[in-house]
Amino acid sequence: MKRLFLKAVLTAALITCAGAGAMAGELLAKANAGEAVRIGFANEVPWAYPGDGDAPKGFVNSIALGVLDKMGITNIEPVVTDWGGLIPGLNANRFDVITGGMYILGSRCENVDFSEPIGVFGDAFIVAAGNPKGIQTYDDIRDKGAVLVTGAGYNIVEVAKREGIADDNVMQVPGPTEILAAVRAGRADAGGVTFFTARVLAEQAGGEIDITDPSLLPEWTLSWVGIGFRKNDDEFRAAFNAALKEYLGTDEMLAGVAEYGYTDLQLPGDVTMEYACANR
């Protein structure tokens, strides 16, 4: 009896998993039929963040929505979550697309597929005004025994480890608000964020923090951002990439992202998703 019950449970589980995979794989057909496409993002100003009623704001959302519109897809449902929940939420079918402003990294490419790059970006540190510990690089943090705060799931966690910073000296918090709070309170000596995010945090801090020179960080930390998709949504991703190719860099697209500070200097050039996955 126990064997029969176990077999029934396993059979049901396999049917459920197969059904979920089939549903995910039908995203393009569902979208073309007018069903909502759920876009997942965190509160990452100016990349992707919720406005009134969770309306999708930020330059990554602007680009993604522009591409979806070119595909004829206008029924969009925003889903806001913590940064660390973006990839797990995508693979758990909580949403269909990640628009959060995610770097295309080899470790992430193992779990999700990305669009072709929508831009190239670098990181920086936020430090207390006057930079009392003289922090400009990861070497400075390591050699001075300083504490680095960054977001859980941020690429900077991997970079810090590669640069030899002890795990005990890396504080992980949910996102930019907590990173800024840790630096302002003196719980951390430097906050690792993207340069775009650092500019926003500096404005919020009202002169209490400075931004380090992003050009002093290793060239290999320069990264490309893509839109994330489930592994079995290749048909949708191919259609998205085709529309992205026609939209990226146009006057229409650049006008839509201008308010967020994205300019033609951030355009990714000829770098492909495959290159970014293999080299970052």
pLDDT band at 95 (very low <50, low <70, confident <90, very high): very high
CATH 3.40.190.10 domain span(s) along the chain: 2-120+227-279, 123-221
pLDDT single digits (tens) 83-92 = 999 999 999 9
Class of domain 123-221 (CATH, top level) = alpha beta
Say what the pLDDT of residue 228 is.
Answer: 98
202-217 tens-digit pLDDT:
999 999 999 999 999 9
The pLDDT value recorded for residue 10 is 37
Question: Which H helix or E strand runs over 276?
Answer: helix 273-279
CA atoms within 13 A of residue 25's CA, in its CB half-sphere = 7
Question: 103-139 pLDDT, tens per residue?
Answer: 999 999 999 999 999 999 999 999 999 999 999 999 9
Pairing of the two strands 37-41 and 97-103? parallel
CATH level 2 (architecture), domain 2-120+227-279: 3-Layer(aba) Sandwich (3.40)
| In contact, 210 and 130? CB cutoff 8 Å | yes
pLDDT at residue 8 tops 80: no
pLDDT at 23 over 60: no
- What would the two tokens of residue 200 be? 């926003």
pLDDT at res. 4 = 37
**Which run of H or of E encompasses 7?**
helix 2-25
Q: Summarize the confidence of residues 185-205 as an average pLDDT.
A: 96
d(CA 88, CA 101): 16
Q: Could you write out the three-class secondary structure of 166-182?
A: CHHHEEEECCHHHHHHH
